[in-house]
Amino acid sequence: MSPPALVLLPEWGSGHLMSMLESCKRVLLSGGGNAFSITLLVMRPPTSEATSEVEAHVRREAASGQDIRFHRLPAVEPPSDAVGVEEFIARYIVLHAPHVRDAVAAMACPVAALVLDIFAAPLVDVARGLGVPSYVFMSSTGALLALMLHLPVLHDSVPVEFDEVEGEVQVPGLPPVPPESMPCPVVDKKSPNYAWFVRLGDRFMDATGIIANTADEIEPGPLAAVAGGRCVPGRPAPPVYPIGPMLSLGDRSPSHECVAWLDAQPPGSVVFLCFGSMGWFDPPQVVEITAALERCGHRFLWVLRGPPSDASGAGAPDGSEHPTDANLDELLPERFLERTKGKGLVWPTWAPQKDILAHPAVGGFVTHGGWNSVLESLWHGVPMVPWPLYAEQHLNAFELVADMGVAVPLKVDRKRDNFVESAELERAVRSLMDADGELGRRAREKTADMKAVCWKAVEEAGSSHAALQRLAEALHHGAVIPKK
Among 222, 231, 185, residue whose Cα is nearest residue 404:
222
Per DSSP, what are the bridge partners of residue 115?
8, 135
Rg (CA), the chain: 22
Asked whether residue 135 carries a pLDDT value surpassing 60, the answer given is yes
Confidence at residue 437, expressed as pLDDT on a 0 to 100 scale: 86
Percentages helix, strand, coil for the chain (3-state, rounded to 5) are 45, 15, 40
* pLDDT of 450 higher than 80: yes
Residue 434: pLDDT above 60?
yes
Question: Sheet holding 68-72: strands in order across?
Answer: 68-72, 37-42, 5-9, 111-117, 134-138, 209-212, 240-242
Task: Report the pLDDT averaged over residues 178-184.
Answer: 96
Q: Report d(CA 239, CA 248) in Å as an integer.
A: 25
pLDDT at residue 419 above 80? yes
Mean pLDDT in residue range 394-402: 98
Helix (H) or strand (E) holding 339: helix 336-339
Residues 432-441, mean pLDDT to the nearest whole number: 92
Whether 16 is catalytic is yes
Of the candidates 96, 99, 117, 394, the residue annotated as catalytic is: 117
Lowest-confidence pick of 169-173, 319-323, 329-333: 319-323
pLDDT score of 221 more than 50: yes
pLDDT band at 312 (very low <50, low <70, confident <90, very high): very low
Question: What are the Cα distances from residue 317, in Å, to 51, 186, 257, 265, 339?
Answer: 14, 19, 34, 42, 40
Q: Binning pLDDT at 50, 70 and 90, where does residue 313 land? A: very low
5-244+459-478 and 257-455: identical CATH topology: yes
CA 115 to the chain's CA centroid: 17
- Exposed e or buried b per residue across 356-386, where buried means at least 16 C-beta atoms within 10 angstroms of its C-beta: bbbbebbbbbbbbbbbbbbbbbbbbbbbbbb
Q: Which of 478, 479, 482, 400 is nearest to 442 (CA)?
A: 400
Beta strands in 297-423 (DSSP E): 299-303, 305-306, 324-325, 344-347, 362-367, 384-386
Average pLDDT of the segment spanning 308-332? 74
CB 51 within 8 A of CB 45: yes
- Is 477 one of the annotated active-site residues of the chain? no
Q: Does residue 32 register a pLDDT over 70?
A: no
Mean pLDDT for the stretch of residues 189-199: 95
Catalytic residue among 16, 150, 298, 465: 16
Residue type, 413: D
Helices (H), 119-219: 124-130, 142-157, 192-204
- Give the Cβ contact number of residue 269 at 10 Å: 17
Q: Which of 43-57, 82-96, 97-111, 437-451 has the lowest mean pLDDT?
A: 43-57
Instruction: Give the mean model confidence (pLDDT) for residues 366-393.
Output: 97
CATH 3.40.50.2000 fits 5-244+459-478, yes or no: yes
Residue 278 pLDDT level (bands cut at 50, 70, 90): confident
Mean pLDDT of the chain: 93
Give residue 315's pLDDT: 57
Task: Give the pLDDT confidence score for residue 52 in this predicted structure.
Answer: 86
pLDDT > 70 fraction of the chain, expressed in percent and rounded: 95
Q: Answer whether 302's CB lies under 8 Å from 367's CB.
A: no
Q: What is the pTM of this model?
A: 0.95
Q: Which residues contact 130 (CB under 8 A, 6 or more apart)?
A: 101, 104, 105, 111, 114, 482, 483
pLDDT digits 0-9 by tens, 63-104: 777 778 999 999 999 999 998 899 999 999 999 999 999 999
* In the chain, domain spans: 5-244+459-478, 257-455
Which range among 35-49, 158-172, 381-395 shows the weakest confidence by mean pLDDT?
35-49
Residue 90's H or E segment, with its range, is helix 85-94
Fold of 257-455: Rossmann fold (3.40.50)
